[in-house]
Amino acid sequence: MANQFSSSSSYVTIFFVTLQLLCTYSLFANGCYTSIISFGDSLADTGNLKRLASTPEEHSLHFFYPPYGESFFHMPTGRCSNGRLIIDFIAESIRLPLVHPFVGVKGMRHMMELRRGVNFAVAGATALDSAFHAARGVNNPMTNSSLRVQLGWFKHSLPSLCANVPACRHMIGNSLILMGEIGGNDYNHALIAGKSIDEVKTYVPLVIEAIVSAVNELIRLGAKTLLIPGNLPIGCSPVYLTKYYGSDMADYDNSTGCLIQLNKFSEHHNELLQTKLNEIREIHREVNIIYADYYNAAMQFFRSPNKYGFTNGALKACCGGGGPFNYNSSILCADPSSTVCARPDTYANWDGLHLTEAAYRIIYMSLFRGPYTMPQFNSMCPISMLHEIHGTSSSMWMSRLRVGAIEFFQERNMKSGVNGGSRG
């Protein structure tokens, strides 16, 4: 008889645990977030720079042409890869449309579409304004759409996206907000222009402050869940492996072949960013501040490329103009003289600076189905959303489920004769 009661208790436990898992999955996949709002640079741009281009010279930007987009969209979309980006995989995973670029949207019908996802990220964008870099002799060759500019677009668009302040706070609070990646180009543009690493390192606190300021502004507007990525390991990029090839800078990590000093630079940025995010968490305990560890998610395939299917390596670009890493600043991917590999899925790097769809998929999987977000993303759903979905507090709702489960099995046991002591 004790065994029968134990079995009944086990049924209750299994039922309840299964129900919890199903409900958690349902929230994550079908209603936890009603929209994605994105800011950043080429790691997240789904077409804004392409739409901003207005002159023939601007249209000569190489990633507006094939073979960009060849593996998934079968045409260039303005994404700096052969296919989807991390943001695309996120949208698919939470069953939202691929996030629409903001630039060029006209008419109420199209503005309505943006309520399910809007992207302000622009390839080449920096966290700091262009004036900061220009004052130091570094010009942005692609855009002046810094993070501050993107945030301005967002605030300006709010009257069209939502009718009033309460409605806007509701929309923003129920959105997953992606803050980047942003900041990498503040360093890229300067380093490629010839600035020393020591000089560029002085930018880091200012870059972090720009990101933190944007995060705080979004929280004031009603944001409840923000995902803030760190920088990728830039010492593994063919751009820098080519630039510093054979120089005194070329001190390599034996386990990866990446440049040690540049990767330490990325780690420095990421450590300072995480420190500042912890400070925001202390002030805004009701907000989900999620750090996305792009660096270590990517380092997995730089350390073990074959394990992740990159049989042609992680350091050589699939599409480029030749050289030891198939990167040539004079012959970029999509140039008539460039070459493109037959199987991009066997390469981690696409064009020297950006990754392939296959690499972005691995980073996405590591972040959202693995351990590389802090706290883990798949457990994060704002309590306010639970209130709205269930019409009551989540604890009360789950308590009712427990009672219902226990009553169900008590009735089941009575019918089967468990409470009578035997089955006969």
The DSSP element (H or E) to which 402 belongs, if any, is helix 394-416
State yes or no: pLDDT of 373 exceeds 90: yes
Query: pLDDT exceeding 70 applies to what percent of the chain?
Result: 78
Q: What is the DSSP letter of 252?
A: B
CB 78 within 8 A of CB 64: yes
Q: Tell me how many degrees the CA angle 353-357-360 measures, rounded to the nearest 5.
A: 75
Residues known to be catalytic = 42, 351, 354
Give 110-119 pLDDT, tens digit per residue.
666 788 899 9
- As to burial, measured by CB atoms within 10 angstroms (0-12 exposed, 13-18 middle, 19+ buried), residue 10 is exposed
Q: What does the pLDDT read at residue 13?
A: 44
Residues 218, 220, 222, 223, Cα dihedral to 10°: 40
Q: What does the pLDDT read at residue 404?
A: 40
What does DSSP say about strands 288-292 and 373-374: parallel, antiparallel, or unpaired?
A: antiparallel
Q: Tell me how many degrees the CA angle 217-223-227 measures, rounded to the nearest 5.
A: 95
**Which of 157, 148, 218 shows the shortest CA–CA distance to 183?**
148
Give 196-253 pLDDT, tens digit per residue.
999 999 999 999 999 999 999 999 999 999 999 999 999 999 999 999 998 877 799 9
CB 192 within 8 A of CB 305: no
pLDDT category at 179 given cuts 50, 70, 90 is very high
- Write the single-letter amino acid at 80: C
Mean pLDDT for 371-391 is 64
Distance CA 3, CA 13 (A): 15
Mean pLDDT for 11-24 is 42
Pick the range with the lowest mean pLDDT from 96-105, 175-184, 363-372, 379-388: 379-388
**Which of 293, 129, 266, 133 shows the shortest CA–CA distance to 197?**
266
Choose between 282 and 414: higher pLDDT.
282
Q: What does the pLDDT read at residue 250?
A: 77
**Residues whose CB is less than 8 angstroms from the CB of residue 28 and which lie 6 or more positions away in sequence, other chains included:** 94, 378, 381
Q: Tell me how many degrees the CA angle 240-130-140 measures, rounded to the nearest 5.
A: 40
Pick the range with the lowest mean pLDDT from 45-54, 200-209, 269-278, 323-332: 45-54
Q: What does the pLDDT read at residue 416?
A: 44
How far are the Cα atoms of 17, 79, 226, 417 from residue 288, in angstroms, in the given order?
Answer: 24, 28, 6, 49
Distance CA 193, CA 231 (A): 19
Mean pLDDT for 322-338 is 96
Mean pLDDT for 327-350 is 97
As a whole number of Å, the end-to-end CA separation of the chain is: 12
Superfamily of 35-315+357-380 according to CATH: SGNH hydrolase (3.40.50.1110)
Mean pLDDT for 9-34 is 48
- Give the predicted TM-score (pTM) of the model: 0.83
Distance CA 122, CA 79 (A): 10
Domain boundaries, the chain: 1-32+399-424, 35-315+357-380
Q: What does the pLDDT read at residue 141?
A: 85
**Which of 213, 210, 227, 222 shows the shortest CA–CA distance to 286?**
222
CB 19 within 8 A of CB 397: no
